[in-house]
Chains A and B, each alone.
Chain A
Amino acid sequence: MEPAPLNISAYVVLSAILFAMGALGVLIRRNAILVFMSVELMLNAANLALIAFARFYNQMDGQILVFFVMTVAAAEVAVGLALIVVIFRTRRSINIDELSRLKD
């Protein structure tokens, strides 16, 4: 079956908006978990772009790359949540503004 013609620019724009929202979230949010969720949003923006381009070129490369991005995101979640839990146990807070022991 021939795939329907795809308006690729709409997908690129949408993924760019998602990516920008994620990046803004990382810069604005102060809660470590929310910062991390914003990073996940950025990764998913990339996934959307990859899937759209894979469909546009009618090939598998982009889709396979998405598998790897998802796997890596899961690995990052595992490590990241562990670090956040450990930090919370020591300080009773995961506000990243309070992470200021290390400085000049």
Chain B
Amino acid sequence: MELPTLQDLNLAVTLPSMGLALWACVVLAVGLFLPERRRHWNLVLSLGGIVALFLYNLTLFDLPADRQSAFLGMYRADNFTAFVNLIALVTAFFGVLMAYEYLKRTHIDRGEYYPLLLISTSGAMLMGASGDLAVLFVALELLSIPLYIMSGLRRPNAASEESALKYFLLGAFSSAFLVYGVALVYGAAGSTDLSEIFHRVNAGLILDQGLLLAGAGLMLVGLGFKVAAVPFHMWTPDVYQGAPTAVTGYMSVGAKLGGFAGLLRVFIVALPAVSGAGDATGWQDTIALIAALTMILGNVVAIAQRDVKRMLGYSSIAHAGYILMGAAAAGSPDVRDFAVSASLFYLLAYAFTNLGAFAVTVAIEKDDATNPQLDDFNGLSKTRPVLALAMALFMLSLTGIPPTAGVVGKFFLFQAAVNAGMVWLALIGVITSVVSAFYYLRIVVNMYLREGPGEAQAQRSFLGVAVGLAAVGTFVLGVAPVLFLDLAQRAVLVALGG
């Protein structure tokens, strides 16, 4: 047997995710020995690592074919990976920035927050890069386990602990589904390599069709839990409500990004040939149905919420539905590449917008461990006009009203669905977007038309910077989407070899 050398492993292209995980170890070790008054080094080190890897990651687009694979095919370094890395690093950047002062003023300034966040981000990045089911599984756990701990960071606060335990039990439950799905797919195809599975399935070299279908279904359940798709969404509002707000903000984007990156990898690279009607793949109808249910339930239930974090939880379910629409559209071979880039673009737009919305929520939250309510936004435009303007922008973007990132992202997703012949799904998307205006714009109304004290914490601070950057990102993606769309369109997913 030919033994691999260090060059064969091609470590350089894995640096964004691997480097981030190792850097997390450094931050953890340094954080241990930091005295109280030097705590800001946690922030400096984390942000430094994220920015450096972000810049390095920009060089990883359009690698030559022989450098697109690392660890003997287990790690794929294509444009999809690079784009997922880009979104993940943006998410981690905001996650660190909006947490720093929040953790201090709520007295949960535990140094572990930063390394946990970095490790979780590297898990999300690895999910996008996985070329093997083993990597997918380990990456999913790398993403999830730190999130369980982060949700419970505010102990001994009962709500935070409860959210952590709920998230943990349901998360472990869902990963058990994923593992069993992996086992069955491996049993059916005789390989855990995604490209290899594709070729075996395509050539009809599988042990048993039922085994493959069951495996694919169980993996869909496991990943559906992670991205909070109906009917696997029950944990989302509770966990979002109980976890510390900065963690919720990070989680709402990071976990979803990882889940969707893994979902697209598995179902588009490995399993497109699972038998289905006509040209489309077998899972297209299933995912389309889940997408429709997710959009409807998320948007409708969100209307009834008074708690801002809970409302944003249901809103995040709804957005998972929109992205699932892109995943469903990718089931048609003709639309596949367009649908993948549309989903990626939407994930980026969602990252900026949702992180911005959560940053403002962090600013609104009081120090006394009560959750911000919708009425806490009353009169914010009088006291903090810039903050209110930014929040209005985020709400418009989440609804899908120009000139924001959200509307461009939704436009591409709807177009992908229509191109894939699923006009009904696109129609549901449009209608539920209109419904969503009801609860998103209520915050805008509260801020601008209602009277109230309108208190907020963020002065000129890191949190303010986070809100500002998110607003800029949301706006720029809305008026000049070409900048990132070009990158997203180069991210195609395809099995190797043949």
Contact = CB atoms under 8 A, between A and B. Distances in A.
A and B touch in the complex (CB under 8 A): yes
Nearest to A35: B169
Which of A22, A39, A68: most chain B CB closer than 10 A?
A: A39
A75 interface: yes
A31 B207 CA distance: 39
A30 to B, nearest CB: 12
B173 interface: yes
A91 B165 CA distance: 13
Interface stretch (B47-55, B100-108, B134-142, B345-353): B134-142
Q: How large is the interface on A (under 10, 10 to 19, 20 to 34, 35 or more residues)?
A: 35 or more
Interface in B169-193: 169, 172-173, 175-177, 179-180, 182-184, 186-187, 190-192
A39 B174 CA distance: 9
Contacts of A80: 148, 168-169, 172
**B interface, over-half SS:** helix
A49 B187 contact: yes
Which of A84, A90, A91, A104: most chain B CB closer than 10 A?
A: A104
Contact of B156 (A53, A69, A89, A104): A89
B304 interface: yes
A39 B155 CA distance: 25
B162 A79 contact: no
Interface in A54-104: 56-57, 59, 61-62, 64-65, 68-69, 72, 75-76, 79-80, 83-84, 86-87, 89-91, 96, 99, 101-104
A91 B156 CA distance: 10
Contacts of B241: 102
Contacts of A61: 134, 186, 191-192
Given A65-B134, A72-B138, A104-B305, A42 B180 contact: yes
B141 A43 contact: no
Nearest to B181: A46
Contacts of A101: 158-159, 162, 242
Contacts of A91: 158
B245 interface: no
Interface string B182-218: 1110110011100000000000000100010000000
B298 interface: no
A98 to B, nearest CB: 9
A4 to B, nearest CB: 18
B159 to A, nearest CB: 5
A90 B158 CA distance: 7
Contacts of A102: 159, 162-163, 166, 237-238, 241-242
A43 B179 contact: yes
Given A46-B183, A50-B183, A65-B137, A39 B169 contact: yes
Which of B156, B161, B172, B183: most chain A CB closer than 10 A?
A: B183
B258 interface: no
A12 interface: yes
B137 A68 contact: yes
B256 interface: no
A75 B143 CA distance: 13
Contacts of A50: 182-183, 186
A49 B242 CA distance: 37
Given A89-B156, A99-B165, A53 B179 contact: no
A32 B141 CA distance: 20
B149 interface: yes
Contact of A43 (B176, B184, B191, B304): B176
B183 A79 contact: no
Interface of B: 133-134, 137-138, 141, 145, 148-149, 152, 155-156, 158-159, 161-166, 168-169, 172-173, 175-177, 179-180, 182-184, 186-187, 190-192, 207, 211, 237-238, 241-242, 304-305, 310
Q: Which 9 A-B pairs have the closest CB atoms?
A: A42-B176, A53-B187, A49-B183, A102-B238, A46-B179, A46-B180, A46-B183, A72-B141, A39-B172
Interface of A: 8, 12, 15, 19, 22-23, 26, 32, 35-36, 39, 42-43, 45-47, 49-50, 52-53, 56-57, 59, 61-62, 64-65, 68-69, 72, 75-76, 79-80, 83-84, 86-87, 89-91, 96, 99, 101-104
15 contacts: A8-B187, A26-B173, A42-B180, A46-B180, A49-B184, A50-B183, A65-B186, A69-B179, A76-B141, A79-B148, A84-B165, A86-B152, A101-B158, A102-B241, A104-B304
